[in-house]
């Protein structure tokens, strides 16, 4: 029985999102891209640091995602900051819209990658924003874990 090794090429990550938000749920979504955008992502370009997702007419769109123009594209290149539609099931869309409108959650993309079949995917997280004291607690916990691992390493 051969098991295929699942590989994915991560193009962009939003590491700061886990510091700024408490994540309740994560969802893998497809993203609607133009040809020049796919080529630009395959070249390793793109940023989702200030991105967020909002609903519009019962669809979820990714705002403020930066995918630079493809250098070797012709006259019909894409706009780097255009709205990009997320490809989700109706059930997932309704779940996300309900959490955004009712509970005050925010939808933040955490990473953009190509799956093993070569299809561009986005991991989006549904979360609430952290307050300043929560961020301090997270930083203290991270520092303590780092110090603890140093102490254990010295003892061994």
pLDDT of residue 87: 93
75-90 residue pLDDT tens? 778 778 889 899 999 9
Q: Is 155 part of any domain?
A: no
Q: Rounded mean pLDDT of 96-111?
A: 88
Q: Is 122 part of any domain?
A: yes
Q: How many CA atoms lie within 13 A of 37 on its CB side?
A: 20
pTM of the full structure: 0.76
Q: Is 145 part of any domain?
A: no
40-63 residue pLDDT tens? 888 888 888 988 888 888 899 999
Q: Is 111 part of any domain?
A: yes
In the structure, what pLDDT confidence band is assigned to residue 7 with cuts at 50, 70 and 90? low
Q: Which domain holds residue 28?
A: 9-130
Q: Is 140 part of any domain?
A: no
Q: Is 31 part of any domain?
A: yes
Q: Is 143 part of any domain?
A: no
Reply yes or no on whether the pLDDT at 73 is more than 90.
no
14-37 residue pLDDT tens? 888 888 888 888 999 999 988 888
Give phi and psi for 17, each to the nearest 5: -65, -40
Query: What is the C-alpha separation between 50 and 120, in angstroms, rounded?
Result: 19
CATH number at 43 reads 2.40.280.10
Measuring CA to CA, which residue among 32, 17, 23, 118 is closest to residue 83?
A: 32
pLDDT of residue 44: 86
Number of structural domains the chain divides into: 1
Q: Are 24 and 105 in contact (CB under 8 A)?
A: yes
In the structure, what pLDDT confidence band is assigned to residue 5 with cuts at 50, 70 and 90? low
In the structure, what pLDDT confidence band is assigned to residue 2 with cuts at 50, 70 and 90? low
Q: Rounded mean pLDDT of 94-107?
A: 87
Q: Is 108 part of any domain?
A: yes
Mean pLDDT of the chain: 85
């Amino acid at each position: 029985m051969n098991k295929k090794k699942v590989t994915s090429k991560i193009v962009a990550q939003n590491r700061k999102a886990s510091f700024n938000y408490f994540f309740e749920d994560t969802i893998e979504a497809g993203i609607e891209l133009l040809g020049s955008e796919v080529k630009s992502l395959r070249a390793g370009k793109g940023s989702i640091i200030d991105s967020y997702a909002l609903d519009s007419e019962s669809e979820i769109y990714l705002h403020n995602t930066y995918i630079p123009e493809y250098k070797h594209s012709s006259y019909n290149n894409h706009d780097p900051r255009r709205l990009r539609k997320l490809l989700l099931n109706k059930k997932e869309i309704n779940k996300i819209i309900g959490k955004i409108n009712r509970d005050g959650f925010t939808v933040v993309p955490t990473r953009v990658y190509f799956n093993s079949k070569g299809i561009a995917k986005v991991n989006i997280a549904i979360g609430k924003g952290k307050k300043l004291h929560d961020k301090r607690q997270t930083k203290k916990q991270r520092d303590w874990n780092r110090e603890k691992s140093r102490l254990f390493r010295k003892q061994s």
